[in-house]
Amino acid sequence: MDMSNNLIKSFPNIEIIFGFDFGFKRIGIAFGNTLIKHAKPLKIIHSITNKAKFNEISKLVEKWKPKYFVVGFPTYIDMTSEKHKVAIRCKRFANQLYGRYSIKTFMINENYSSIIIKNYRKKYIDSQSAALILQQYFNEKL
């Protein structure tokens, strides 16, 4: 276990929070805690199957023991005025996280994260997007 986890364990009131940027091909994950309230990129999951994705998430949950999850949720609509297919899948992903781990899961508008990092589209930026989503949660909710 790394030094940051040992430090967190010595302060029982500090809680680890994971942020997720859900995508069909990749899932970005970031982490932060309720003391510092600063999000940092953690990992990008490239697995193809749902089972493989959740196996990787399970390893991180076991290691870090987060208290909450925050999932980015796109609030835009498509041309037919219906929720976008990514928004529907993000909600499903958030429900799966809660169902698998019984960890309270929040959703936060992720529209601004896409605008902030749109210049980096050619690179794998999913974990940085997750960090922006989690940082937004820290800034708005805590």
* pLDDT tens column, 70-97: 999 987 655 555 567 888 899 999 999 9
Q: State the DSSP string of the chain.
A: --HHHHHHHTSTT--EEEEEEE-SS-EEEEEEETTT---EEEEEE--SSHHHHHHHHHHHHHHH--SEEEEEE---B-TTSSB-HHHHHHHHHHHHHHHHH--EEEEEE-HHHHHHTGGGTTS--HHHHHHHHHHHHHHHH-
* pLDDT tens column, 23-57: 889 999 999 999 999 999 999 999 999 999 999 99
- What is the pTM (predicted TM-score) of this model? 0.85
What CATH number belongs to 16-141? 3.30.420.140
